[in-house]
Amino acid sequence: MPLSYIERILRARVYDVAIETPLTRATLLSRRIGNQVSLKREDLQPIFSFKLRGAYNKLVQLDADARSRGVIAASAGNHAQGVALGASRLGLSAIIVMPRTTPMIKVQAVRNLGAKAVLHGDSYDEAYGHAQILAAERALTFIHPFDDPDVIAGQGTIGMEILRQHPDPPDAIFVPVGGGGLIAGIAAYVKYVQPSVRVIGVEPTEAPTLERALAAGRPIELAQVGLFADGVAVRRIGDETFRVAQRTVDEVVLVDSDEICAAIKDIFDDTRGIAEPAGALAVAGLKRYAQRHGLRDASLIAIESGANINFDRLRHVAERAELGERREALLAVEIPERPGSFYSFCRTLGRRQITEFNYRYADPRRAQVFVGVELGGGDRERTDLIARLEAKGLSVLDMTDNETAKLHIRYMVGGHAPDLTDERLIRFEFPERPGALLDFLAALGRRWNISLFHYRNHGAAYGRVLMGIQAPPDDWPAIHEQLATCGVSFWDETDNPAYHLFAGAGTGRVAAPR
């Protein structure tokens, strides 16, 4: 690694605004997974995120002319607050362009720090483009959230602190990855000072920017990224961050949203702090890596990178945490519709904790039960339970990993429509802002009948909707074409077995795939 990055990190000006955060032992998690786990508590920074390190270090390096003209940034959250706080401390004027989907709590936080918040577009990419236009028109200096050497160096001070706080070299450091500024800075320093320490990136399965780039040997742009961990929902890793990461990062671990929710709960159990999804990403990756490699008594560190989570999202996190830890199974079980069969079914479940039970009479011969069961033995116990139910002659569908069942169907049990014809089921995600649903329905048009609709607000930037549309088969090419022009992400769920069991036409038999 070129010495220039080590010099930049050693000289970085971050402590005018940032604090040296503690390295906290995660006692409960350590005991449960059989390793020595520590958390680098960047959630304790003044803006509840590491982002002010890089933002301030960039701002403080600007010359007098650039400072006098002011700065601009594009961000939906943590970088925005970092730039706003740094500009305030240095007496600079600052504009932050934020997507219209940004929760108002984050917009207000930027304004409270003295910056001007401009709302534009529905995504970071649209906000970024508008910020570039304003920067050119007003001769403002653009402060990039990750792809800048001074920003990378500011984030690299975290690596410097870790090696100072942990006298013996740890076995591995797990770092969340979005645009790559954090992992590039940490890896540059750690690999120069302690080359034996493994630096492992962690990404959501829905946004594997670094993993794909490493496989391709160059940055590539993803067609679409998932938005649950919005702090790392980046479609393309930076050129400079990739150049550094390619030389210094050992590997990348991918985790799903349920595993992230479980990690948020792990952090809460150990620290009573509440991480945002991106903030808990490294803990989720640490757990998966330790299990995959059968690690015991290893010294592992995870960067808890931020805690800017909307209170509304905690409901969704709590619902999914047990699934992410494989401590809950979601099952659809068909039982005979006769006296005593329900009691017999409950006896077969045994004295396990029931987390959810949904049932409604729909057929004189058989009944479909949607049940959540708490597990103590993970996937093995789930497999054994299913085998036990099937040995009793019951038909079981495992829905533990069925996203449509987890997001929508579990709240719609009993919604069969026996006389309905030509219905197809579509799952949507669209930008969550006032009027967004109305705009979407207007774009879809009035030609086709909406026969099913389910929506829940998860406090996120994107709304999730399940919709049934009635239309003759010949109309479906036109419908798909119309949906594609609406600017929303969508998935056809018509063949999803959970839909046929609990919400589709007919009486709850799984339909043959189309």
List active site positions.
51, 305
Sequence-separated contacts (24+) of 479-488 with Cβ below 8 Å: 479/448, 482/443, 482/444, 482/445, 483/426, 483/444, 485/443, 486/430, 486/440, 486/443, 486/444, 487/122, 487/430, 487/443, 488/428, 488/429, 488/430, 488/440
Residue pair 218/268 in contact (Cβ under 8 Å)? The answer is no
Q: Strand, helix or coil at 72?
A: strand
Bridge partner residues of 204 (DSSP): 255
Residue pair 451/490 in contact (Cβ under 8 Å)? The answer is no
Residue pair 252/214 in contact (Cβ under 8 Å)? The answer is yes
User: Which uninterrupted H or E stretch holds 468?
Assistant: strand 462-470
Q: Classify residue 372 as exposed, middle or buried by CB count within 10 Å of its CB (0-12, 13-18, 19+).
A: buried
Distance from chain centroid for Cα 414: 31
Residue pair 425/492 in contact (Cβ under 8 Å)? The answer is yes
For residue 164, how many other CB atoms are within 10 A of its CB?
11
**Distant-in-sequence, close-in-space partners of 144: CB < 8 Å, separation ≥ 6:** 58, 73, 151, 238
Sequence-separated contacts (24+) of 470-473 with Cβ below 8 Å: 470/420, 470/421, 470/422, 470/423, 471/422, 471/424, 471/447, 472/422, 473/422
Q: Strand, helix or coil at 425?
A: strand
Distance from chain centroid for Cα 127: 20
- Which tokens belong to 248? 């210094």
- Beta strand 328-336 with 395-398 is antiparallel
- Which tokens belong to 466? 């399940």
- Which tokens belong to 188? 């540059």
**Distant-in-sequence, close-in-space partners of 338: CB < 8 Å, separation ≥ 6:** none
